[in-house]
Structure 1
Amino acid sequence: MSSEKENVMDMKSINYRGPAIEEVDSISPTNNAGLIDGSFSGSPYSSDSRSSGSSTIEPVSDSTYHAKIGKPIYKRIVDSFKPMDLEDLGIDTEGMTQLEKSVIATSQSRLVRDLKTYHLIAISLGGSIGTGLFVGSGNALAYGGPASMVIGYFIVCCALLTVINALGELSVQFPINGSFNTFFSRFIDPSWGFTLAIMYYLSWAISYPSELIAAAMTIQYWNTSINSAVWVAIVWVVVSSINFFGVKGYGDVEFVLTIIKVVAVVGFLIVGICITCGVGDQGYIGGKYWHDPGAFNHGFKGVCSVFISAAFSMGGLELCALAAAETKNPRKALPKAVKQTFWRLTIFYFLTSIVIGCLVPYTNPNLLDGSGIAASPFVIAINAGGIKVLPHIMNAVIIAAVISVGNSSVFGASRTLAALAAQGMIPKIFGYIDRKGRPLVAIVITSLIGLLGFLVVNKNEEAVFTWFFAVCSLASFFIWSMINVTHLRWRWALDAQGRSKDEIIFRSPFGVVGSFAGLAVLIFIIATEIWVSLYPIGSTGASVETFWQDCLSLPLLLAIWAAHKTYYRTWNRLWVKLEDIDLDSGRREISLEDLKQELADEREALHSKPFYYRVYHFFC
């Protein structure tokens, strides 16, 4: 047996007395993944030979292996439903705190690692290019004007630049189940981990039925005779079924849908530039609408109103980190996905906002009063240009976008719920992962929440969902802010424990300074959103109803955090001490010295490259 397999990672902050578990393929010789009698099926190691305090793992003989898989089928089915405890992995949990147990549990994920780089890019883009861009951008244009929309999107993109790189650094270092939701517990405090994970789950879970309704309304562009509930049911079956095909099936579908959306956005940009330059019924437009009715609407408040639309549109960029535990080689795949996803998304939103601002005046009544895709600035611009067939094509693209975002909603929500269960913060049944690596119970629960889409037949459907979304209105900004805080505490913990930055696999190009700057921008955005919600555009005084609709997530977040603190009686500790933060669990590399040497070799090789290549590598 090689020395690498016998090496045990030094655990500084917890009493880890079991073996270091090396990465194991999830596909066994019988094409089964998961645990049989507490051992990894398909693994050459058995838990039977593990004992507390032992650092060796004996190989399983062929006869033992076949004896295990040769059990009666009913017995294997029953065993497959048994929950995985930490003791099953040879880990002695005696004396561990709940935080220490949750760190170990999430680092030993049984999710199947079938995702590749192109899957991660597609998942991030797919979750971010949806109705928020195709339809919601019209709302931003109407309230803020073209210049406000460009400025608002640019500011949010700058904040996200620091967030996604900080998150990439953490997720490459610790590709664990639940990813950044788990980091909140690990690097800040379990109460914050629980609170933000619940908010993140609600964001995706509530988004799912709203996307189903959006799909039904979009389809009615062609057919108004069939009840909308029928289309909700059809799309619900399609989206829910996709997630039952496993993570690779989800990734492949998302890849195809993302290609459709990207091609549509690029095509619209080309057509939009042509219309602006004079092709179409309107003749040459140029920057006419930037002068009349103007570049800004409602002044500074108009700019602030764009922030919430930008957050709704770009939410989902962090999904590539959530999928880290299901990625074959996160060390190579995640940095590329993080960098490329951000720049592509920024280009799409930045260029699209400029083109839309040139084609549609913010005074167009359909932006606020239109129903379904009639409110889409994409469709308004194409119709105004006199191009007859493109609105139908754009309608089909919006349907693909809705299915994609609905798909991402189930994926993001189910992984978050499973991670909460793995940490012991909710009942274990929610974290059940079957032999195909699917968080089955979490997928089922999230799919059932999607049935709220049948509220489409209710006359008060819009009011109901307004209050549903109030629950998670500012959630994205809170989560992005805490990601930057987590990155800062990770770096501070390295210093506090005397560890070298040379062991960081992927470093955020902007480092600690970037996280501070991003945090400052996000705090500013949250403050302005509270102000605009309390004193909304067009109001002569304070509006209590608008404030609660836009900011209900703030008191809810504080209430959940306080309730968790009170229930677990942890008011004596507001955050985990830097000296106690676990800096090792969840790594896939076992030899720290070998890792440092490999990273040093890679940096030396990069330094020998031409300047232009180093610049490209820095950003992409």
Structure 2
Amino acid sequence: MSDSDVEKKTEYPDEKAFDHGHGQVGFVDDHGADSNLQRRLSTRHITMIALGSSIGMGLWLGSGSSLASGGPAGIFIGYVLSGTMIWAVSHSIGEMAVMYPLPSAFVQWSNKFVDPAAGFALGWAYWMSYWITIANELQAVNTVLSFWTDAVPVAAWMTIFWLVIVLVNVGAVNWFAEIEVICSMIKFGWIFVVIIAGIIISAGGAPGHGPIGFRYWNQNAFANGFKGFLSVMPTCIFAMAGSENAGLVAAETANPRRSVPKAVGSIWLRLSLFYIMGSLIITICVSPNNPDIFGGDGTNASPFVIAFREGGVPALAHMMNAVIFISVVSTGSISGFGGSRTLYGLSQIGMAPRQMQKADSKGRPWWALIPTLLIGGGLSYINVSYTGSEVFSWLSNLTSLFTLFGWGMICLSHIRMRKAWSLQGRDPADLPWTTWTWPWGAWWGLSWCIILIIAEFYLAVWPLGSPQSAEHFFSVYVSVVAIVLCYVGAKIYYRGRKWVDVGTVDLDEGRRFYKAQEVEYAVGKEKGWMKKGVEAIWS
């Protein structure tokens, strides 16, 4: 069949939406990858959303409690390890999202290549993690705004910005994307101020105090030893949770073959600047024993704000707090987007009510969006009775274990997809895009996810700084219990073989086929990582 014949069979009524300036559409057929969602997002949208979607409370605020419990070296190594994991996961996402750009991509990949029961457990676990993140970011709003005033009740702040998150999500998809692009640009630009100012403060160039250097590293690099290091990992994982959202956004992107690789190529920049350099800056500027850092007995401020305030530059402290405020609201709105698309995808494969598939002409899946925003906003009100740091600890532990399960399933799906490709006699050169990290990247991500889930079990049974108790165990590890219950229940319901037979799986179902004339068809010949990352930011 010729390309022209295939084009005539395409399901899309308006091919101009997919014309990228060459007089040809970016793909020739979806083979079931279509949905009621609208492909309104561009390369710029998906790149910037991938860049800034996970920059929120975990980094700006949670780093304070992690610094206190793990020490400077503990938090720095924690971010480095977590960074290598999400870097590997993102490359697995890139290869699959280009070929299978589906709503709730991770769920459908797991369902297709691993096991329907695993896909069911993953989908509902991810949906829970999204509305938990909404709650966590909303309660963070109160912590951030209390830096300026305590006159407004906690519930009032959370209600106001819950409505803001709702308004961002109920707008057209392209408007949502434009708002997130602006927020990502603010966060990305500000990190350079943080790095430069932090170095100056540590070197003694600020009026507040003399040189600090690596004083806090020399005093107590690893607070609370190995257990202290383990205690920072949930916060590090929570901080990076959401980095995988590029896989979900791909379903609403006009040409994933162009957009997704650029988003994946930019991840090194986010990891190195935001997490690794950001965590290093606070370890050389803020003492782990400072009572005012988030989780302490004082003002519960961000360690980044404290660094500027104690350095004698209050103007930068206020600007930093404003950027944190933008970040937490942005991350909350992205979580609403991700949660609704996860429910939508679950419905597509019969694992959620069919009504969840309904979307209007603007691409808004109302039946999936409303419960995500309602539950996430409602859960945030537990902050009225407890301190922000307590709520953050509970919710970040829940989210981090859901995230580890999700990252592990993404890597496992990638491994199984490649195995199916090989067993069915297909050439890797026929993949529309390949990652140069295969196979060690996928195995690295999967292995560390398993190791850290086991390590967190150890911390749940033998907690840091508190006696053993069933209450503490379930507050830390209930996510795993929920995953096991979902998996076992789905296994009983679906019955059938233990895992999908990758030798017979239909590799073309849900796949998008691209025209070689439309995109640069490069397998293992992508541009250098530095050039690719810079181009992704400036595109």
TM above 0.5, one fold? yes
- Alignment partner for residue 146 of structure 1, among 36, 53, 72? 72
Contact 2:120 2:351 in 1 (8 A): yes
* Deviation of 1:428 (Å): 0.8
| Aligned twin of 2:49 | 123
Q: Relative to structure 1, is the Cα distance of residues 136 and 565 closer, same or farther in structure 2, using a 3 angstrom cutoff?
A: same
Cα-to-partner distance string for 1:554-600 (whole Å, 9 max, x where unaligned): 121111111111123x1x4111101222211233326xxx65x9889
| Aligned twin of 2:443 | 516
Matched, 1:589 2:513: yes
* Deviation of 1:21 (Å): 3.4
Residue type of the partner of 1:4?
A: D
2: CA distance, partners of 1:324 / 1:372:
43
Residue type of the partner of 1:170?
A: M
* Deviation of 1:303 (Å): 1.9
Q: Relative to structure 1, is the Cα distance of residues 489 and 372 closer, same or farther in structure 2, using a 3 angstrom cutoff?
A: farther
Equivalent residue runs for 1:351-370 within 5 Å: 351-367=277-293, 369-370=295-296
Equivalent residue runs for 1:173-572 within 5 Å: 173-280=99-206, 281-292=208-219, 294-367=220-293, 369-370=295-296, 374-452=300-378, 455=381, 458-460=384-386, 471-539=398-466, 542-568=468-494, 570=495, 572=496
1: CA distance, partners of 2:375 / 2:521:
49
Q: Relative to structure 1, is the Cα distance of residues 599 and 330 closer, same or farther in structure 2, using a 3 angstrom cutoff?
A: closer
Contact 1:218 1:395 in 2 (8 A): yes
Contact 1:111 1:433 in 2 (8 A): yes
1: CA distance, partners of 2:393 / 2:75:
22
* Deviation of 1:616 (Å): 4.1
| Aligned twin of 2:10 | 21
Cα-to-partner distance string for 1:325-381 (whole Å, 9 max, x where unaligned): 101111011001012034323332111111111111212122354479733110111
* Equivalent position SS for 1:511: coil
- Alignment partner for residue 40 of structure 2, among 104, 114, 117? 114
Equivalent residue runs for 1:29-48 within 5 Å: none
* Deviation of 1:421 (Å): 1.0
How many pairs align? Answer: 522
Matched, 1:4 2:3: yes
| Aligned twin of 1:573 | 497
Contact 2:286 2:307 in 1 (8 A): yes
* Deviation of 1:452 (Å): 1.2
Residue type of the partner of 1:337?
A: A
Residue type of the partner of 1:308?
A: P
* Deviation of 1:26 (Å): 8.1
Q: Relative to structure 1, is the Cα distance of residues 546 and 171 closer, same or farther in structure 2, using a 3 angstrom cutoff?
A: same
Contact 2:65 2:295 in 1 (8 A): no
Equivalent residue runs for 1:91-102 within 5 Å: none
Cα-to-partner distance string for 1:110-166 (whole Å, 9 max, x where unaligned): 211111222112222332111111100111111111111111111111111211101
| Aligned twin of 2:95 | 169
1: CA distance, partners of 2:356 / 2:298:
35
* Deviation of 1:270 (Å): 1.0
Residue type of the partner of 1:187?
A: F
Contact 1:367 1:375 in 2 (8 A): yes
- RMSD, aligned α-carbons: 2.8
Contact 1:265 1:348 in 2 (8 A): yes
Q: Which has the higher contact order (CA 8 A, sep 6+)?
A: 2
2: CA distance, partners of 1:371 / 1:119:
40
* Equivalent position SS for 1:264: helix
> What 5-or-longer segments of structure 2 have no aligned partner?
18-28, 535-539
* Equivalent position SS for 1:375: coil
1: CA distance, partners of 2:447 / 2:135:
33
* Deviation of 1:399 (Å): 1.2
Q: Which has the larger radius of gyration?
A: 1
Residue type of the partner of 1:335?
A: P
Contact 1:163 1:515 in 2 (8 A): yes
Residue type of the partner of 1:579?
A: G
2: CA distance, partners of 1:527 / 1:385:
40
Residue type of the partner of 1:162?
A: A
Q: Relative to structure 1, is the Cα distance of residues 282 and 460 closer, same or farther in structure 2, using a 3 angstrom cutoff?
A: closer
* Equivalent position SS for 2:53: helix
* Deviation of 1:470 (Å): 5.6
